[in-house]
Amino acid sequence: MIFDRTLLFSNAQAITATAASTDIVDLLAAGTVYGAASALTKDIGKGEQIPLLIQVVEAFNTLTSLTVAVQCSVDAAFTTPKTVQSSTILLADLTAGKGINPVVVPPGLSMRYMRLYYTVTGTAPTLGKITAGVVMGVQTSGVNF
C-alpha cells in the first residue's frame, strides 16, 4: 500500500489507552457553485468506494478488545464528534499484519474533519501499534477482513 502523508491517521501509533488517532484528515469546506444560494452538501463516500487501510503493525497484548471508530466533526478539535462506523476486534485478532474493518471510507461523512478513535477494553496494553490512512487500494490476498 502507498500512503499519502496528508491522508494518514496513524503512523505506527502506539495504542496504550483509549485515544484518538494522532492525525486528522481535513476534507476541506464545501464550495458554492456559481449562481447557487448556498454551499454544496458534503457527503464523502458517495460514488466509488474510497479504500481505508487500518493495519496492526505491532501485535497487541493484555487488552480484551479494541474498537476502532471512524469519526467526523465540524471542527478540528472534534468538540462534538460523530461516529459513522466502528468495528471491535478481539485480542486474538490483533496480530502484526492484520487488517481491521472498515476497509472503505463509509458514506455519511458530511462534516469537514475525519479521524479514527481507538477504544481499549480491558487492561491497557503495553504493546500494540496501528498504521492507518486512506490509500489507493488495499491488498487482501483473497482474504476478506
CATH number at residue 112: 2.60.120.1110
Give the pLDDT score at 145: 47
- Give the span between the Cα atoms of 41 and 48, in whole angstroms: 17
Average pLDDT over residues 41-64: 84
Q: Is residue 143 part of a domain?
A: no
Domain assignment present for 9: yes
Between 107 and 132, whose confidence is greater?
132
Q: Domains in the chain: how many in total?
A: 1
Burial 83-96 (b: 16+ CB within 10 A, else e): ebbbeebebeebee
**Is 95 a member of any domain?**
yes
* Total Cβ atoms within 10 A of residue 70: 26
Provide the grid cell at 118. Answer: 481507538
C-beta of residue 38 within 8 angstroms of C-beta of residue 32:
yes
Residue 38 domain flag: no
Residues, the chain, total?
145
Look at residue 109 and tell me if it is in a domain: yes
